[in-house]
Structures are given as structure tokens and as C-alpha cells.
Amino acid sequence: MSSLTPTARVILGLLATGAETGYEIKQITDVSTRFFWGASYGQIYPELRRLERAGLVRGRDQPRGNVRRRVYELTPEGRAALESWLREDDWVFDLRDEGLLRLFFSDLLDSETVLAQLRERAAWFSGVADHFRSIRPPIDEGSHMFAVWRYGVELMEWNADWYAGLAQSLTERGR
Amino acid sequence: MSSLTPTARVILGLLATGAETGYEIKQITDVSTRFFWGASYGQIYPELRRLERAGLVRGRDQPRGNVRRRVYELTPEGRAALESWLREDDWVFDLRDEGLLRLFFSDLLDSETVLAQLRERAAWFSGVADHFRSIRPPIDEGSHMFAVWRYGVELMEWNADWYAGLAQSLTERGR
DNA sequence: CCTAGCATGTAATACGTTACATGATTCA
DNA sequence: TGAATCATGTAACGTATTACATGCTAGG
């Protein structure tokens, strides 16, 4: 069991890979880990201070002009906590999918409505896949980080195909 | 935007499909919607009373012997709220996947550790797929509810394959 | 007799988003 | 000059799990 809070995990990881400020952590998560591990300002800033009190990060005020700015870096203890977490062998896997819940109860609905919804959902996943494809990260294609990007694209494609396939089979059955 | 709370959605749906008590709702979610829409007693019982106050469900005490028991049913208003929610066209899709987050930062780790983790993860998804397959619901294969069961099995299989494939390609590259 | 299951409920706690407040700088 | 962006932060609120408490009944 990890002693790191959920948001601490992504913070330490991002500090290890070059992020410096809370603001930057938020920007990066929003275009990378967001779809499987989000973070909001309301979690990030308090967590950074908790981590500093716990000795896992060190912060220094480093304003840009008159814009106040606090940069953080991992301490050796923080780096150790990060690596220790990375080596753990249990993990959270949570899915919250309202579309699936609707489908679960959709036998209560007329089939035209359901069919329209399935097509809409297929289109939505397809659009998300396109979006993910468009934010391809400029990093080594052999890296694990790049593999996660591929996962995102492929998972969205798989979902788009699944819903399109179901809509298709319902259409054929309806004929 | 739905006025139903997250737990209200699954409660109304299950009441519409035959569940009667809070206990039963919990049992059913645990073997059906759990992997994409969980519910706990701490949400279910208070929510049932809120829904009753709001007039969406009606509860009656119906003990079995001396075991206290309160059965609920949808009111016409509850049925209408359920159908209205089912017809909405926006939805929540949230994923929280710690394995993916680890992989995202795994360039910090040695490749043997990462490879072992990928294989473990593939095995885990494969096991979950087996488990899902084993709880195949005894319902019409043409129903939407059955389609959701298939989704679960197939999504877990897809994940198992994805992680196994990545492990495989890393192995080949390592040679 | 004891355990598992039926059945209901609450309190503590954790986690998360949203909206808001503040203020500087850059660029059109 | 005004909008977007950089940057930090808090308060209110919603949602969730966990652990605990209670007590009956059925079956081995």
C-alpha cells in the first residue's frame, strides 16, 4: 500500500521528469495523464506544501519579474519515495462510465433512441481518438511514456469500434 | 445535466429492473455494474431516503420474520426521471488507472522491472476477463444488458492483449 | 453452537472539482 | 487597452469508501 496520496504520485513523477511549478504540473497533466489520472489546482497546491513539510520536495521562491513563482524539486527522499511507489505491484483501476450504465438499462428504451445513442457514443470516442492522435508527444517512440500515448489512442479507437459494431449489429437485426 | 446524483442513477435503474431493497441493490451492483459504476452502503441507504423525500421512490416496511426490511418501488415520477436521464446525451467517462500512470513514469525504472510489471498486469487483466466470463448473466443475448457484459469481458481481454503485446515487443527489442 | 448471510444504518475520513480571488506580463 | 497567459491559492461542496454497530435467521 502506497503512503503517497493519489495527487502526490503524479506530482513526484512530473517533478522527476522536469516540471517545476504547480502551474506547470497542471498544464502537463491536462495534456498527458489527464484521461487516466487527473489533477486540479485544489489538490496540487496544498499537496505540494504537504510534500514539502514531509521532506519529499524542496521549494524555492523564484519569481519571473514580479510574477510570484515557486519552483520545486525532488529531495533524495522524494526520489526514493517515487521509485518505491513505481516498484509496487498493486494498483488502482477505476472506471466510471455513464454511457455503459445507460446501455445497461437501455432495454427500458425504444430501439431507435438506443441506436442513436450508440452512434453518438461511437462518434464521441472517435473524436477523442482523433484528438489524442493530434497531441502526439515529441518523444522517443521506444519510451514507455510514448507507449502510454499509444494506449490512449488505441483504447479510444477500440471503444469507437465497439460501439459502432454494436450499432451495426442492431441495425442488421432490425432489418 | 442530470439532476440525479450518481448513485440515484443506478438505484432507479435497478428498482426498475426488479431490485427491491438497499441490500439487494448492493448485491446486484457488486456483480454487474460494479466495474464501471460502483455503489456502497454509505451511499445507497441515505440516497434511498433522499429519493423517497423527493417522491421518486416509495418505501414500505416489509420484514421477513423479525428481520427488518424495507422494500422500495419507483413512483411514476421516479420512472419519468429515470427515462429522462436515460435519454440525455451527455455522459461521464472517467478512468483512474494507476498501472498506466506507473508506465508513464517507468522510463525512470530498469527494463527488467518494467517488463515484469507489464506481464503481471497482462495476467491480472486476463484473470479479470476470466472472472467476468464466469459470471455470464442468464439473460437474453440480444439484450443491451447482455451487451454490457460482453463489453466488460472484451475490454479486459483487450487490455490483457495490449499489455502482453507491449511486453512481447520489449522482449524482442531487448534481444 | 457457530458461521454465513440477510438487512439497515452512521461516522470518520479521503478525495475531488468548481468557482472564486488576486495580480503581473505579453501581445495583438 | 484589453485579452490571454502565467502563477498561486482557498472555500464550498459533492461524492466516495471504510469501518463499525446492530440484530435476526438458516444451515451445517
pLDDT digits (tens, 9 = 90+) for B92-119: 999 999 999 999 999 999 999 999 999 9
* Half-sphere exposure in the Cβ direction for A54 (13 Å, CA): 17
Q: What is the pLDDT of residue A173?
A: 86
- CA-nearest of A118, A40, A56, A158 to B154 is A158
Residue-wise pLDDT for A103-128, tens only, equals 999 999 999 999 999 999 999 999 99
d(CA B22, CA A59): 49
Residue-wise pLDDT for B131-168, tens only, equals 999 999 999 999 999 999 999 999 999 999 999 999 99
Q: Using the predicted structure, report yes or no on whether residue B13 has a pLDDT greater than 90.
A: yes
d(CA A102, CA A97): 9
Record: contact A98-B17, CB cut-off 8 A: no
The distance (Å) linking the CA of A51 with the C1' of C27 is: 37
Protein footprint on strand D: which nucleotides are under 7 Å from a CB?
A: 6-12, 14-20, 23-26
Residues of A (96-115) placing their beta carbon closer than 7 angstroms to any atom of strand C are: none
Q: What is the pLDDT of residue B175?
A: 65
* A171 DSSP 8-state letter: H
Q: What is the pLDDT of residue B141?
A: 97
d(CA B81, CA A18): 49
Residues of chain A neighbouring B13 (CB-CB closer than 8 A): 101, 104-105, 108
Report which of residues A64 and A2 the model is more confident about: A64
E strand map for A49-167: 57-61, 70-74, 93-97
One-letter identity of residue B155:
L
One-letter identity of residue A157:
E
Q: What is the pLDDT of residue B174?
A: 76
CB A63 within 8 A of CB A44: no
E strand map for A32-160: 57-61, 70-74, 93-97
Mean pLDDT for B30-36 is 96
E strand map for chain B: 57-61, 70-74, 93-97
Q: What is the pLDDT of residue A175?
A: 64
Pairing of strands A70-74, A57-61: antiparallel
Q: Looking at the complex, report in whole angstroms how far the Cα of residue B136 sits from the nearest Cα belonging to chain A.
A: 14
Q: Using the predicted structure, report yes or no on whether residue A174 has a pLDDT greater than 80.
A: no
Q: Using the predicted structure, report yes or no on whether residue B1 has a pLDDT greater than 60.
A: no
pTM (predicted TM-score): 0.95
Q: What is the pLDDT of residue B119?
A: 98
d(CA A39, CA A116): 33
Phi, psi angles (nearest 5°) of residue A93:
-135, 105
Residue-wise pLDDT for A65-94, tens only, equals 999 999 999 999 999 999 999 999 999 999
Q: What is the pLDDT of residue B173?
A: 86
Q: Using the predicted structure, report yes or no on whether residue B18 has a pLDDT greater than 90.
A: yes
One-letter identity of residue A144:
H
B/e letters for B137-150, b = 16+ CB within 10 Å, e = fewer, are eeeeeeebbbbbbe
Give, for A74, the enclosing helix (H) or strand (E).
strand A70-74
Q: Considering chain A, what percentage of its residues have pLDDT values greater than 70?
A: 99
CB pairs under 8 A between A and B: 161
Q: Looking at the complex, report in whole angstroms how far the Cα of residue A61 sits from the nearest Cα belonging to chain B.
A: 27
